[in-house]
Structure 1
Amino acid sequence: MNTAQSFRLNKKSKLIKTDEFSSVFSFRKRVFTKYLVIHYQPNALTYPRLGLVVAKKIAKLSVDRNYMRRVLRECFRLQQHELNALDLIVQAQKKFTKQDFLTVKQEFAMLVEKLNRRTNEHTQKPQLNEDNAIA
């Protein structure tokens, strides 16, 4: 396979430490859909990082929580090259099963587009030209 991009999910692409999670949650920026909430914060790296939260309140059985985490990791793995350099925490809002897989995948892709639009708006600086210059 000769592609320029690797779709592997490296260890460095994961948020693990409590401080990293706390930092993203305290930044207080988020986007959400029926099944997912994504908390985000720009990072100083050149790649996005992922943290996952699937609470027992959402899915009682560990089998279900692990399945949900696996699906969310897969969605991130496939979309990571389209994301800006952000720290993301994907939080499950509602339990989903194998029947909902395509819906969750579509919601994740939609949220990635929304995140890119939002972060591009904030990172672009207004350019001054001769008409806008202050004398």
Structure 2
Amino acid sequence: MGHYRFLRSMRLLKTDDFSSVFNLRISVSNEWFQLLGRRNDQPGARIGLVVGKKTAKQAVARNYMKRTIRETFRLHHAQLEGLDVVVRVRQRFGRAEGAAARAALLQLFSRLPKKCRASASR
């Protein structure tokens, strides 16, 4: 049985944490999301979220998107082991598009570690 709790240690909380991921600029994207990543010195993965008001004006919509991303990360964080990831929402999605958005996010979750490993070996 896996560990599925979403702990505080699994979140990027400080501005410096976000800045270090933004500065490294290893990214993968699709129509829904842009993922920025970097290696961390910790055993687990950490996630930060960016959902701007330009993406969705209403807080209810932004909060739904953040909950969906956090839940997907919580269930699949093992494949991002050892990475700090910032997820930027590029296109608004609601309940009707939620399944497609989750599938797109999972695809990016599988691509990002390969790209981070390739850049670390340079």
CA distance in 1, matches of 2:117, 2:36: 16
Q: Conserved in 2, the CA contact under 8 Å of 1:51 and 1:88?
A: yes
Secondary structure of the residue that 2:57 maps to in structure 1?
coil
| Structure-1-length-normalised TM-score | 0.85
- Whether 1:33 aligns to 2:17 is no
Identity of paired residues, percent?
A: 33
Instruction: List aligned pairs for 1:15-26, cutoff 5 A.
Output: 15-26=12-23
Partner residue in 1 for 2:104: 107
How many residues are treated as equivalent by the alignment? Answer: 122
Deviation at 1:123, TM superposition (A): 5.0
Partner residue in 2 for 1:130: none
The alignment's C-alpha RMSD in Å is: 1.4
Detail structure 1 runs of 4+ shifted over 6 Å in the superposition: none
Of residues 80, 88, 97, the one that matches 1:91 is 88
Runs (5+) with no aligned partner, structure 2: none
Letter paired with 1:10: L
Secondary structure of the residue that 2:86 maps to in structure 1?
strand
CA distance in 2, matches of 1:14, 1:123: 22
Letter paired with 1:15: L
| Structure-2-length-normalised TM-score | 0.94
Secondary structure of the residue that 1:98 maps to in structure 2?
coil
